Structure 1
Amino acid sequence: MKMSSKLLLICLLVAALASLSEASIGGYICPYSSKKFLDIASKALKADTQDISSLYHAANSFKILNEAVPANLKPVACQTVKKLFNVETLEIDNLFYGVESFKLLGCDGKLSTEGVVKKVQDILQNEKSSVASLHYASKTQTFLGQQISNQAKLAQLVQAQLKTDDSLLSLGHALHLAASLGQSGKFITERIEDIVVQADEVDGKLLQWEGGLSTTSLIITGLLQFPASSPLNQPQADKLANYLLSRLTVQTPKGISALLEAAQALATSKVSPVSISVTGQNSVTLDNPNLKIQVSDIFGKPLKTALSPVVAQSATRIADDVVVLAKQPLNVGAKETEFVLPLKLEPGYYKILLNAGPHSTTLTARVLGPVQVKTFEIGLSDADQSSAPKLEKLTHPNKLNKKLQGDSGQNLLVKFTLSRQVHQAFLRLSSGKKEIIFVAGHESNSQYKVEADLGQELPISDSFNIELIIGDSIITNPFRWQVGEIEIKITNAPTVASLKTLRGPKPEIEHMFRKPEKRPAKAVSLLFTGLTAAPFLILLILWSRIGVNLSNFSMRAVPFHLGFGAILGLFTCFWLKLDMFVTCAWLIPVGGFTFFTGHRLLSHMARSKKPEKADK
């Protein structure tokens, strides 16, 4: 009773601590993802592209990941930037990408920026310039080493544009632009709360803005430039980080650059998400029980301020919800971000609640261990249970000294006990290509039993190998044990053909179609065929009596009539053997040809009749 009270107290304490703690993110941008991002960025740099923005995003990805652009890619990328950079044809955003990518790549020489300053000034002074254009123009001017001359006027232009277009994309650009305007940009702080409220929450775990990864990244990096306004709280930052981690499969340079920019902004902010996750495998063994936990930022790097203490508040066995561990501090590992939790527990699945300072998460771990056969008995019993079965004890991995002799009136009986319960326990009887597998029934205290009726299950005289198969997801030594052999003698045994009928495929089911109804007499069919053809015959008779006027026939009409005839022929083929899809596929070009030639024929006829009307 005292033990139950202690466990109840521990559960209540864990629940209270979990309610007071903040959740963490369950992953980070691992080295594998970083390598994949760099590979995609490298392909973009060496590609023969006409999109200057892809070069910027690729170079920016290398910068954020603190990796140098490969020396063999730099000359090609720089040459592409110089070739594509054209002040007359490029929009202001691509001009910004060109200037910045030239700088990020560390290209030799200078980029021809003649006319860029004038274009930037025209945009910054134009009252019709969009917020995005004003943002890119101001950044381009800054990169060229010039200051924004009239920040107050630029702030007024932005506010005026937001009255006509306050979409999330415009608000994201406005955040970045306002951050560069100093005191003049404080107008945007009134919109921060409204921007955050517009974020969409998914399953209570993810947070994003409409527009996808690019828009979400633009807003995150913009909001975090106003730390004094506390734009995001810790739960919101964690959910945004979870959204970024859900997009690690992105395959474009633009998406990778946006993801990394947002992750970097979160990692360097006051609300930097904390990643608490298992490094490597989430399974341990009884010989090596140390579970390695990593506590880091979203990039897998050490936190600016180390969190302590790192404690396993509880470990619950999933099979029966029993708390088996409480308030166990983790040991410091080999790395600065690594902690070690010894799980000296019985094999099974466990749910572990971890706390790192005010942050918490729940992880699932698996403890593996060996399984042993404690007892094993095998023998034969009468099917009518007229006498007690004779069972022979056997020790794993030994085999039976002699063959078991059975017949159709007996059952094969196997009883065994394992050191722990398993999910897969089978008894396999095989002879050549023939086999039958019995599932061992679990009784109690890890005891299993198989009882097979030889007359029903194996109705053929033959010698069979007996094999015990044990497996489970939490054992380290799954095995197949050759127990021995059994020879079965069946009186009046069925033939192999009858056995195949018993256990093989069933006879083929043939469908009986209804006999066709009797057709009408031949004379009736000919009569109705003649009635169907009667209108055409009447037309031929009238043509022979009245005559056919071919004087106005022109060679211009030949293509039209050929097309019309082809359509009739196609309909005939459709009636005989074609389906609707093939018919429509042919009808489109044939019908188009007929329409074109018919239009030309009618136009010619109309032009030829105009002089006659004029004479009248």
Structure 2
Amino acid sequence: MAARTLAGFLVLALVITICEAASVFQPITHAHRSAASQLFTPVDGSFPSLEEAYEALRSFEILGVDKKPVIKSATCRSVIETLGSSSSSPKDLFHALGVNGILKCEVKDQLFEGIVPKLKAVVSSASSLLDFYYSIGSLDLIKDQSSNVDVLLSDADGIFRSIKALSQSDGRWRYSSNNPESSTYAAGLAIKTLAGVISLASSEIDQSVIGTLKNDISKLFDSIEKYDDGTFYFDEKVVEAQEHQGPLSTTSSVVRGLTAFADVTSGSIKLPGEKILGLAKFFLGIGVPGDAKDFFNQVDSLACLENNRVSVPLILSLPASVLSLSKKNQLKVKVNTVLGSNAPSLTVKLVRASKSGSKDGSIIESQDLKFDKESESHFLDLPKTVDVGKFLFVFEVVLHDSELEKVYATGGQTQVPVYVTGFIKVDNAEITVLDSDLGSVESQKKLDLAGENVVSVSANHLQKLRLSFQLTTPLGHVFKPHQVFLKLRHETKVEHIFVVGSSGKKFEIFLDFLGLVEKFYYLSGSYDIQLTVGDAVMENSFLKAIGQIELDLPEAPEKAPRPPLQPADPYSKYGPKAEISHIFRVPEKRPPKELSLAFLGLTFVPLIGFLIGLLRLGVNFKNFPSSAVPATFAILFHLGIAAVLFLYFLFWLKLDLFTTLKVLGFLGAFLLIVGHRILSHLASSSTKLKSA
């Protein structure tokens, strides 16, 4: 008994499940690299537009996929053509410069010098947010790509205030002064544009204006949306707006603006770390997008979050597979940044592990997880006192050094539901037939629910059936599964299902057949007995046939309920059908065969009379041509006529109309040719004879 318990404990397993209440997010994986190669596929070494080329190159750069040699030649030609064209819009220049920043095309400073005045003129006369965004963004890119070109803005403070005039009291922005609708997506563009103005300013901008922008960012984050699992995201308020964007693109725009602004300003932007971590969870919770634009927004936003000055989110992830406790009895926990990079020096604590349904529930308090340098993971050794069941583990990530170069968002405590599974032992299983009146045992048989044996018992309507067994965990505790059912199935396929209840340490059910005769529709005969025991933490859940019972029930009274009709097998319509036997009607009486043949002979009499008539009248062969060529055409003409007559005979015998007409068409053309030749010859001979 002890050996079996120990064997059951050794195969105890830990299952980490992800649910709505506490989701466990995984950083960027290899699946994203594979998806990027499929979503961003160049045609003949180039992309349809420079915007798509930039999004592809930026995604490859973040994921560490080198595609530059494949597309550099054709794409760089397009970049130089766009930068050198006088008709290129600020948007075209913006994407061309973005591609050039990654590919490092051979763009000369003279080309930049020709673009800068045009972009500054657009900034000076701009009236819409998008004009500011693309022109200032282009100047900021030129600043990073060439140090010999003057891109600084002399009136940066005035430009800053012009863009700031489009802001709203709730932190959102308008696209232009003529557009009354405010947008969260536009707010992200505006914040990033203002970050570019600060970067391009030739003199320091008024700090009070920058402080006002920080307050606007805080107000914008006050309107952030939240899911129950701690995920935060931004969405547009006005769905009917012309520039409406979805949650992914809107959140991505805000993240780009926030991180760009934090990079060019001093001091900190006071935002709760849980919201930054929640934004990371939003992008990671999407999985692998199937759209190229969504894919770019996801990985680019995660890259911005990983390198921002506000706070870098750290993701605590656990394996979603089963970990057997026989393999070192450990649970592996990893903490990474959103792109899968190694986290700084930290400690992972298991603050609390509570068993669901227990009153006190606290099993573990503040246990530090061990760190393994080789796998860069933290391991939890579960105590041997942990039995099967559902638990709620609460983890906390603690940073070691408070003076780290970056600020990290750990998200406080993370709650993870955990199922500890194992083999449940089934003991003392027996099936008994009892007398209804005295309760004495009529017959009793042991059941081996772990084996393959079945039992056979018999009973009548004055007796009872009792089924009992015990379930114990690997540590010897009473186990109560979610599902325990007993099913009796008659040989006519009528089924009856009963719930098996528990009393103390034993599961037991009594079936009083006297009170069940109507439920059983008075159907005597053989019943198959089937037992079902199942639970999420029970590794040896089973649905097992344990035997048969022969029931002798009384005859059904006249008004007794009838068994329900059993549903037809849906696959029966594909089986063989019954053979169809058909008797044709008796044929009508026909004349004798001799009479039919005689009638057939009479049909040839007119033809014979015609031939005899020709002989009587005398056939004239004097005009038959004597020359070889005309004689040949004359013979062919008569043979053609004979062929037509024979075709008529075949049509009457077996040919259909369409086949006859096809052949007749060829014979008609043949007769037309040879008949014309022979008639022409006869006409010519007649003319010569008259002349003579």
TM bucket (normalised to shorter chain) is: 0.5 to 0.7
1:121 corresponding residue in structure 2: 117
Distance 2:396 2:367 in 1: 10
Equivalent pair of 1:42/1:73 in contact (CA under 8 Å): no
Are 1:456 and 2:497 matched, yes or no? no
Q: Deviation string for 1:105-144 (max 9, x for gaps)?
A: 466xx46998664343122144213421332231343255
2:650 corresponding residue in structure 1: none
2:191 corresponding residue in structure 1: 171
Are 1:273 and 2:313 matched, yes or no? yes
Question: Deviation at 1:296?
Answer: 1.5
Which ranges in structure 1 are unaligned for 5 or more consecutive residues?
A: 1-23, 507-616
Question: Deviation at 1:463?
Answer: 1.8
SS at match of 2:387: coil
Q: Deviation string for 1:427-448 (max 9, x for gaps)?
A: 2333566152534332233422
* Superposed counterparts of 1:201-350, under 5 Å: 201-203=224-226, 205-209=230-234, 212-226=250-264, 228-233=266-271, 234-248=273-287, 250-270=289-309, 271-281=311-321, 283-288=322-327, 289-303=329-343, 305-308=344-347, 310-321=348-359, 322-333=361-372, 335-344=374-383, 345-350=386-391
Q: Which amino acid aligns with 1:357?
A: V
* Distance verdict in 2 for CA 1:125–1:401, change over 3 Å: closer
Q: CA RMSD in A?
A: 3.6
Equivalent pair of 1:273/1:297 in contact (CA under 8 Å): yes
* Superposed counterparts of 1:90-109, under 5 Å: 90-105=88-103
Distance 2:75 2:496 in 1: 64
Larger Rg computed on CA atoms: 2
Q: Which amino acid aligns with 1:456?
A: E
Distance 1:265 1:294 in 2: 22
1:430 corresponding residue in structure 2: 489
1:30 corresponding residue in structure 2: 28
Question: Deviation at 1:386?
Answer: 4.0
Distance 1:150 1:82 in 2: 19
| Overall identity of the aligned pairs, in % | 16
Question: Deviation at 1:25?
Answer: 9.4
1:504 corresponding residue in structure 2: 565
1:353 corresponding residue in structure 2: 394
Distance 1:236 1:402 in 2: 63
Distance 2:86 2:307 in 1: 38
* Distance verdict in 2 for CA 1:37–1:195, change over 3 Å: farther
Question: Deviation at 1:41?
Answer: 4.4
Number of equivalent positions = 475
* Distance verdict in 2 for CA 1:433–1:276, change over 3 Å: farther
Question: Deviation at 1:97?
Answer: 1.2
Question: Deviation at 1:213?
Answer: 2.9
Q: Deviation string for 1:147-194 (max 9, x for gaps)?
A: 563735141342242254232132321113313447535656321232
Equivalent pair of 1:131/1:174 in contact (CA under 8 Å): no
Using CA pairs under 8 Å that are at least 6 residues apart, name the structure with larger relative contact order, 1 or 2: 2
2:538 corresponding residue in structure 1: 475
Q: TM-score, normalising length from structure 2?
A: 0.61
Of Structure 1 and Structure 2, the greater helix share is in: 1
2:462 corresponding residue in structure 1: 409
Q: Deviation string for 1:583-603 (max 9, x for gaps)?
A: xxxxxxxxxxxxxxxxxxxxx
SS at match of 2:85: coil
Q: Deviation string for 1:446-468 (max 9, x for gaps)?
A: 42223334423433222223222
Q: Which amino acid aligns with 1:104?
A: I
Question: Deviation at 1:474?
Answer: 0.5
Q: Which amino acid aligns with 1:291?
A: L
SS at match of 2:157: helix
Residue 422 (structure 2) aligned to one of 350, 369, 392: 369
Which ranges in structure 2 are unaligned for 5 or more consecutive residues?
A: 1-21, 168-172, 174-186, 237-249, 400-409, 473-478, 568-692
SS at match of 2:485: strand
Residue 215 (structure 2) aligned to one of 187, 193, 196: 193
* Distance verdict in 2 for CA 1:161–1:254, change over 3 Å: farther
Q: Deviation string for 1:507-560 (max 9, x for gaps)?
A: xxxxxxxxxxxxxxxxxxxxxxxxxxxxxxxxxxxxxxxxxxxxxxxxxxxxxx
Equivalent pair of 1:214/1:255 in contact (CA under 8 Å): no
Equivalent pair of 1:217/1:259 in contact (CA under 8 Å): no
